[in-house]
Amino acid sequence: MTNEELKTQLSIIHTSLTFEEGGEWINAVVPATEWKALALHLRRHGSFLFDYLFCLTCVDWKSHLTMVYHLTSTTARHSLVVKAKLDRNRPEIPTVADIWRTAEFHEREVFELFGVNFTGHPDLRLLILPDGWEGRFPMRKDYDDPINMIKL
Amino acid sequence: MDNSSTIQKPFPGQVHPTAGGGVLISKLDDVINWARSNSLWPLVFGTSCCAIEMMSTAGAKYDWSRFGFEVARATPRQADVIIIAGTIVNKMAPVLKRLYDQMADPKYVIAMGACATSGGPFFYNTYSVVKGADHVIPVDVYVAGCPPRPEALLHALITLQEKIKSGGKRERIDIDGNKLGKAD
């Protein structure tokens, strides 16, 4: 499907989606609570078949966090970006590790670096950071290096 | 710089020709240091982009084997010098320490580039980088640059040779330090 066709199809199946313009891919913004249902649909529905989650990351906007999922279909050859806004004080979103297996490690990484809680994740613990690190999130904008800190 | 006096330093000592051979007069320490400095075996160790420059230094164009460094070893037990080519992160620090401990004496360390010297671009606001490899193991020669050019690494290697030839090593510095301490 072309981007325009994708956008039309998505608007039909999921009315609460909003779209951001600009860029190579279409950006769909979804409420965090509805992400799981949308993800299942995107993976399984015959006209989407997004079988490959090729990027899962998070952005700290200081006022809130945004989860960003890059999806593509190896059969239908179309791509999509889904974003979900999270509360910075209590970031929580359902896991998609059961839909795209690759998300298991990516979500662990976002968990340790941004502190996002992925509900339903099978094994949510630190991935790269040393043991006992819990409670500090290095990729958040307000993270301070205890030894050498400069503020801009 | 007068290269003939430093890089091409002749064998330390005097040779007196006699019938049927010759007599060599030298100091054993000088001979040992001369031998050590000209057959330094580096450890194959690189943690980031400095390693690319190190490989280039080993390659045909710069060819560190001209100075006796060609026998790069993949095990610390056979290596004399470790070139810390790249960033040392907190998780790598114990590994680096262990590699250094496994090297046989005498052993030498070159900190190559900004990261190994001070943490470099990761000095401020990092959660993962050791701010200089000398927090983990003692360093003999530091090289500036990000990354340093192969010429700079060659200069560091030759500087290390000079240090060894002149008898400079960690133990000796410690002894001198203690003597000064007692004098006080």
In this prediction the ipTM stands at: 0.71
For residue A35, the enclosing domain spans: 3-96
Mean pLDDT in residue range A96-114: 94
How confident is the model at residue A110, as a pLDDT?
95
Mean pLDDT in residue range A95-114: 94
Interface-testing mutation among A147, A149, A150, with chain B (most B C-beta atoms within 10 A): A147
CATH number at residue A54: 3.30.460.80
The A-side interface with B (CB below 8 A) comprises 128-130, 136, 138, 143-145, 147-150
Separation between Cα atoms, residue B180 and residue B184, nearest integer Å: 6
Q: Is residue A103 part of a domain?
A: no
Per-residue pLDDT band at B4 (split at 50, 70, 90):
very low
A-chain CB neighbours of B125 within 8 Å are: 143-145, 148-150
Q: What is the pTM of this model?
A: 0.77
Angle between helices B28-37 and B150-165 (to 10 degrees): 170
Q: Is residue A12 part of a domain?
A: yes
Q: Between B14 and A94, whose confidence is greater?
A: A94
> Of A129, A130, A148, which is closest to B124 when you measure between CB atoms?
A148
How confident is the model at residue B143, as a pLDDT?
94
Per-residue pLDDT band at B184 (split at 50, 70, 90):
very low
> Of A128, A129, A149, which is closest to B124 when you measure between CB atoms?
A149
Q: What percent of chain A has pLDDT over 90?
A: 61
Q: Is residue A89 part of a domain?
A: yes
Sign of CA dihedral B156, B160, B163, B169: positive
Q: Is residue A63 part of a domain?
A: yes
How confident is the model at residue B181, as a pLDDT?
39
Say yes or no to pLDDT of B114 above 70: yes
Per-residue pLDDT band at B35 (split at 50, 70, 90):
confident
Using CA atoms, how far residue A102 sits from A68, A98, A109, B8, in Å, is 15, 9, 12, 58
B129 → chain A, closest CA residue: A145
Per-residue pLDDT band at B182 (split at 50, 70, 90):
very low
Q: State the average pLDDT for chain B.
A: 84
In this structure, are residues B159 and B141 in contact, taking their beta carbons and an 8 Å threshold? yes
Contact across the interface for A148 and B90, Cβ inside 8 Å: no
Task: Measure the N-to-C terminal CA separation of chain A; round to a whole number of Å.
Answer: 45
How confident is the model at residue A148, as a pLDDT?
67
Q: Is residue A71 part of a domain?
A: yes
Using CA atoms, how far residue A132 sits from A125, A126, A147, B125, in Å, is 11, 9, 18, 20
Q: Is residue A91 part of a domain?
A: yes
Interface-testing mutation among A131, A133, A144, A148, with chain B (most B C-beta atoms within 10 A): A148
Interface list for B 128-167 with A (CB within 8 A) = 128, 131
Contact across the interface for B127 and A138, Cβ inside 8 Å: yes
B-chain CB neighbours of A136 within 8 Å are: 127
A151 → chain B, closest CA residue: B125
- The structural domain count of chain A equals 1
Q: Which pairs with CB-CB distance under 8 Å and at least 24 residues apart come from A121-124?
A: A121/A95, A121/A97, A122/A95, A122/A97, A122/A98, A124/A95
Q: Is residue A76 part of a domain?
A: yes
Per-residue pLDDT band at B76 (split at 50, 70, 90):
very high
Mean pLDDT in residue range B124-132: 88
Distance from CA of B123 to the nearest CA of A (A): 7
Q: Is residue A125 part of a domain?
A: no
Q: Between B78 and B4, whose confidence is greater?
A: B78
Q: What percent of chain A has pLDDT over 70?
A: 97
Say yes or no to pLDDT of B177 above 80: no
